Amino acid sequence: MSVCEKELNLEVNRRKLLAGVGAAGLLSVANLLVGCGGGSASASGNMDSTILNAAATAEALATVMYDNLTKSALFTQGLSGNVNDQAYLVAGREQESLHYQTLTGAGAVPLTTTFYFPSGMFTTTHAQQSVQTALNTLVTLEDAFIAAYLIGIRDLSTTGLKVLAAQILGVEAEHRAFGRVIAADLNLTSVTGLSGTAEGVQGSAGHAANNIAYERTFSTTGPAFQNINDVVKALGPFVTAPAAGTAGAFDPTSYAYNTTANFYLTETPTIALDSTTP
């Protein structure tokens, strides 16, 4: 283990014992990641910058998605009274924003912070069609994020960064499963993620929210990801404005990541997370 990696482990362990959490604490850990080779644009012969930049983009995209879902009819009407499912979405918003803070603190630069989503996803009128679109999109993106972090674990150059990628991947996997729980609670029978195949969510039909034994790389199926650039290409519709005057699956409305410090951690409603540092 290198000196940098030992320092990172010591800092992470120390912060787990502290009660105070915030951007300053995340930045301290992020600075150690940079010192161990993470996020350095000058690093030669590795993919660190490319992977971290893609990850920061994905985390901004995910934060914006969860934030707007909490303002949509899916949350206010479809999940009205279901405090557990509502909490899943609020926690998702906070977790993705914390991931973004850590990654950008480690030197990552998002490719964009303005995003586009499928038409009807954030409608303020509850309808089964919009719910299906929203949950299909949530699971598709989480599938892509999980695959991206698996690539990161393989291709990042330091142990510290590989561990960080694994820590984030674990939470993204939770999001995917909880998205499937929400789909079942909203009476959907299946959701279609990155595989392109509808996958059942109703337990009464012999399915479960946690329906896979191993997280998928999608290297030989679906989009056939070989490297992080393939993932970035797959996210193209979410980061590129639809052509003007054309009707399509994506809404031309743009949604921007709010860069105000800790905005998504303090926005109403909030959830108390029990662990907030890597």
CB within 8 Å of 3: residues ≥ 6 apart: none
The pLDDT assigned to 85 comes to: 98
Which pLDDT band holds residue 265 (cuts at 50, 70, 90)?
Answer: very high
% of the chain at pLDDT higher than 70: 82
Which pLDDT band holds residue 126 (cuts at 50, 70, 90)?
Answer: confident
* Pairwise CA distance, residues 57 & 163, whole Å: 19
* Pairwise CA distance, residues 264 & 257, whole Å: 10
The pLDDT assigned to 246 comes to: 63
Q: Which of 41-45, 87-91, 151-155, 173-177 is least confident?
A: 41-45
The pLDDT assigned to 128 comes to: 81
The pLDDT assigned to 43 comes to: 39
What are the distances in angstroms from CA 72 to CA 20, 124, 144?
32, 5, 23
The pLDDT assigned to 46 comes to: 87
The pLDDT assigned to 243 comes to: 82
Q: For the whole model, what pTM was predicted?
A: 0.85
% of the chain at pLDDT higher than 90: 78
Chain segment 36-71, per-residue pLDDT in tens: 444 433 334 589 999 999 999 999 999 999 999 999
Per domain, the residue ranges of the chain are 3-266
What are the distances in angstroms from CA 114 to CA 23, 65, 185?
22, 11, 30
Spatial CA neighbour of 234 closest among 191, 193, 276: 193
Chain segment 219-240, per-residue pLDDT in tens: 999 999 999 999 999 999 999 9
Chain segment 175-209, per-residue pLDDT in tens: 999 999 999 999 999 999 999 999 999 999 999 99
Which pLDDT band holds residue 152 (cuts at 50, 70, 90)?
Answer: very high
CA-based angle 58:248:176, to the nearest 5? 35
pLDDT at 24 over 80: no
